[in-house]
Each structure stands twice: as C-alpha cells, then as structure tokens.
Structure 1
Amino acid sequence: MITIHEVTELLREYDRARGYTDLLWKDLTPDEVTWRPHENSSAIGWHLGHQAHVAHFMVRNLTAAEPSPDPELDGLMDSANPEQFRGALPTIERLTAFRETVAERVHARLGAIADGRVGSPGQLTVVAQHLLVALINHEYQHDQWIGEVRSENLGHHLPPDPDTGRISRLDGYLVLNPLG
C-alpha cells in the first residue's frame, strides 16, 4: 500500500527536479532563455513554462479543480499548439513567478493529500504518488532538451545529475524510479 510518507518523499524529489531545472537555466541571459535554435524549435523559456503548465493541469484535473495561475499563458505553454502559433514568451520574471506559483500549489494540494485533509485520502494518496512520479519525469524530460541547447548551442557546461539514489538515465533521459 502506498503511504503518506511516500508522497512526502516524492514532493522532495519534485523539488529536487525543479532545482536541477534551475541549475540549467538560472545563470543564462534573458536572450539565451528566449533564443530558439530554429523556427520550429521551442526556446528554453517555453520549456520552463510548459513544465509548470503541465504540473498545474495535471494537479487540477486529477486532484482539485482550480483556476490557472496565469490563464494568458495556457495556450502559449500547451504543446498541442504548434510552435509558430504559440506567441511571444513572457518575461523571465513572469515565467519564474508562474513556475513558483505552480510549485506552491503542487505542494499545497499534494501536502493536503499527504496530511489526509481531503475526501478519500487513501485513493488520493495513490493518485498523488503516480502524479508526482509523472511530474518529476516530465520535468526531467524537458531538462534533457534544455540541457542540450544549453551545452551544444549556447556553450555552457552542464551541472552533474541529481544524486538521490532514485534517479537514473533511460534512453539518455533522467528518470525517477518510483520503486526506489
């Protein structure tokens, strides 16, 4: 049976994944964050917003309906919209605020589940565990592309992989093994 402790541990892994993402982009210039390698390619900034956008919609749709923290970004950060129709990226400050707000909401909602402050706490604990594994692996999925652009196109070094004992590489991507 999935325990509340596992959800709490996975929230720490989620923070670790987000921290790794920050290592990949926070030292870049705004021009580097918004630069696109070619016209059909997304900028690092889009991936940053998309990671948060997916986290918001997954938590919203699977655990608690709530409005978007920035509805104007919803269409822009949706990967179903082709690159050429997404529009201009927001400022770095707005992207950062969006990511931080979504992370706070993930913690608030999944923390409430871990604390049993929801209806059907057992069932939602199972949902929360799988949801967090998906969010973490989605964060790392986009980190791969961010890292490639960072190193191969922009000439910056890559930080070391997170060292948690639960992270490995599969097909070149960092992945969280949910079994530990």
Structure 2
Amino acid sequence: MHDLPTLLREYDRARAYTDDLWRDLTPDEVIWRPHEDSSAIGWHLGHQAHVAHFMIRNLTAAEPSPDPELDAVMDSANPERFRGALPTVERLTAFRDTVAERVHVRIGDIAAGRVGAPTQLSIVATHLLTALINHEYQHDQWISEVRTDDLGHALPPDPESDRLSRVDGYLVCNPYA
C-alpha cells in the first residue's frame, strides 16, 4: 500500500517552502510583475492552489471551488493580460489554506479507506499528491528566480527530505525514495 500520510507531509513541506519564499515580501512585491507578459509571485501562489483544487476535484471528489471568482484568474490557460487583477495577499493565503485543508481531508479519507474503491483511489492519490508536490516546487523555482534576481532577496535553504532531489534545477519529489 502506498504511504499517503508520508506524501501528505511532503505536500506540507512543499507548501512550507513556498511560504518561506514569499511570506517576508511586501504586498507590492507579491503582486509585482517583471514584465507585461509575466505572472506575479501572487499569481503563482494562487495557481498552485488552483491546480491542487482541480486535481482533487476532478480525480477523486467532485466539489465546488473554494473561491470561484479566482478560477479564471489562476488558470494558466488564460493569457496573462486576460486573467484579471490579483486578489489581496490575505485572500490568496485563505485560498491556499482552504485548498490544502481539502487536500488533507480527501487524501485522509482515501488513506483510511473511507471511499469507494479505496485501493484504486490510493494509487490515484499517490500519483496525484506527487504531481501536486512537484507542481508546487515547479512554481517555487520561478518564485525563487524573481525573489533573488528581480527583488534582491536571499533564498531560504532548500527543504530537507530523503525524497527530494534537483532535476534540471527544479526540486522534485520521488514518492518511492
């Protein structure tokens, strides 16, 4: 059986690293865009949660968006200039926290067998969580580059885990390490 609680801890570790990358920034730095066709750090924060919500919703449990007004703003299929204004840092934080809570609840239900087809969903959940973790780190790389190169802030140390390595410059979680 897959170790979903361990992967949930890796998901929390990835989210904590994201927080280390942005929580000390000013609201202006969070919404600043390096150029017209570039996304702000705040967009990446919302997009990470947006993807987590849609993956959980579409692969394991149909449920409404925690903030439907943000769906179009955080969808990478929409070109930057058509996404609309970013929400406040407080709203982004609440969105991220709500989605993370929902990920925990749904994966917890799967791990405990409180779902139809628990063995099948356990396999799905393992790959889903791995994708969510690696997606978080994928956008952390861009946040890191803007944080250091454009905003002049030092980077926090990489998170420590036996499951993490760098591939093509990106932190990557291997669920089978």
In 2: Cα distance, 1:116 partner to 1:158 partner: 40
Shift of 1:165: 1.0
- Alpha-carbon displacement from aligned partner over 1:72-96 (angstroms, at most 9, x marks no partner): 0000000000000001000000000
Shift of 1:97: 0.2
- Aligned-residue Cα RMSD (Å) equals 0.5
In 1: Cα distance, 2:153 partner to 2:64 partner: 37
* Counterpart among 65, 69, 79 of residue 66 in structure 2: 69
Partner of 1:80: 77
Partner of 1:136: 133
Q: Does 1:161 align with 2:153?
A: no
Name structure 2 gaps, 5 residues minimum.
Answer: none
Which amino acid in structure 2 is aligned with residue 126 of structure 1?
A: I
In 1: Cα distance, 2:122 partner to 2:175 partner: 14
Name structure 1 gaps, 5 residues minimum.
Answer: none
* TM-score when normalising by structure 2: 0.99
What percent identity do the matched residue pairs reach?
Answer: 77
Greater alpha carbon shift after TM alignment, 63-72 vs 170-179: 170-179
In 2: Cα distance, 1:179 partner to 1:121 partner: 20
Partner of 2:118: 121
Q: How many residues align?
A: 177
* TM-score when normalising by structure 1: 0.97
* Counterpart among 43, 46, 61 of residue 46 in structure 1: 43
In 2: Cα distance, 1:66 partner to 1:166 partner: 30
In 1: Cα distance, 2:170 partner to 2:81 partner: 26
* Counterpart among 93, 98, 112 of residue 96 in structure 1: 93
Shift of 1:28: 0.2
In 2: Cα distance, 1:71 partner to 1:177 partner: 32
In the TM superposition, 1:30-45 aligns within 5 A as 30-45=27-42
